[in-house]
Amino acid sequence: MNDHIRKILLGPGLLTLFLVFIYPVVYMFYQSFFTNITSGFDGEFVGLQNYATLFQSGRFIGNFITTLQYSFGSVIFATLAGLGIALAIQQVESDRLQDIYVSLVMAAWSIPLATAGLMWRWILQGQTGVLNTILQELGLITTNIPWLADSTLALVAVTFVDGWVRMPFAMIIIYAGLQSIPQHMYDAVKVDGATTLEAFRHVTLPYLRPSLFVAILINWMFAWRAFDIVFGMTNGGPGTATEVLSITLYRQGMELFKFGYTNAIAVVLVLVTMVVGAFYVKVILQRVDEV
């Protein structure tokens, strides 16, 4: 009977997952060892040639570093902002107002990332963007700042916007973590005469560690592979200043049709994610044993 229910309830889901996931993944790995496969299995086996080309390419190394800067910058901003906002919302007395604040912050999270990218591209436009207009009217700048046309500024801008869209998720996870801290812990340290800062350091932070861990890890994994924001804002430009690996992958694959080479990039991207993901999985599986 047990066998039965497992097969019927789990079978269709797993089978579907297997079909829509495993086959493309195997095909991805397979292609990375071949010259361009245009259909089926028609390429020529070249071993690690695609990978060798990859790591000899200065552009790939450069884009790898850009991706690291982008993903770490985004996560640092998202986590600090998320933590600050979660703490602020918790200080608000009325539950209703807390809900409204959470909903409004979540508005930034719910919109399509590609739309968010285009929206910011419009705001940050060098000549006609509203940010420059506002800064000029406030007298803070005299000439327009080319936010998306300058290499350094463009990378800062896309990193900020990526953090902007990821901040609400960090906020939610941290906010949920905050609510699980028992009030009597705060009462206890208050009796000891602890200041707010000490209570934060000795009660809040230790309790928040799992939430922060999850928020940072998940946001980083998603920022590491992020495509929509950069594609919408700069499409990797100016030049290759904001060309993160997902954009490289898209350009090499869907624009230049270098399938073998592109899949080698994909494998590198996947392996880095999986190394980091392993930490997350380890934590999850540990919890499974506790059930």
Partner 1 sequence: MATETQRDQWIGYETKKQFWEAVKSRYVAHAFMFLTLFVVLAPLTWMFLTSLKPNDAVFAQTYLPTTPFQGAVEAYGSALVTKGHWKAAMNSLIIAITSTTIVMALGTPAGYVFSRYRFRFDDAMFLLVIVTRLFPPIGLIIPYYQIMAYLNLLNTRTGIIIAQIYLWLPLVIYTMRNFYITIPTSLDESAKVDGCTDFQAFRHVILPLVMPGVAASAILTFLFSWREFLFAFIVSTDLQSTTLPVAVYQYIGDIQIQWASLSAAGTMSIIPAVLVVFVFQKYIVSGLTGGAVKE
User: Site residues for partner 1, window 144-203 (CB under 8 A)?
Assistant: 164, 168-169, 172-173, 176, 180, 195-197
Query: Is residue 285 close enough to count as binding partner 1 by CB under 8 A?
Result: yes
Binding mask 14-33 for partner 1 (x = CB under 8 A): x-xxx-xx-xxx-xx--x--
Query: Is residue 4 close enough to count as binding partner 1 by CB under 8 A?
Result: yes
How far apart are alpha carbons 252 and 54 in whole angstroms?
Answer: 12
Q: How far is the CB of 249 from partner 1 (least distance, A)?
A: 6
Q: What distances in angstroms separate CA 145 from CA 60, 121, 128, 152, 216, one per listed residue?
A: 29, 13, 11, 12, 32
How far apart are alpha carbons 252 and 189 in whole angstroms?
Answer: 58
Question: Total binding residues for partner 1 by CB under 8 A?
Answer: 103
Q: How far is the CB of 152 from partner 1 (least distance, A)?
A: 22
Query: Is residue 9 close enough to count as binding partner 1 by CB under 8 A?
Result: yes
The interface with partner 1 within residues 97-126 (CB under 8 A) comprises 99, 101-116, 118-120, 122-123
**Which contacts qualify for 28-35: CB closer than 8 Å, 24 or more apart?**
28/263, 28/266, 28/267, 28/270, 29/263, 29/267, 31/259, 31/260, 31/263, 32/260, 32/263, 32/264, 32/266, 32/267, 33/260, 34/260, 35/260
Binding mask 67-96 for partner 1 (x = CB under 8 A): --------------x--xx--xx-xxx---
Query: Is residue 205 close enough to count as binding partner 1 by CB under 8 A?
Result: no
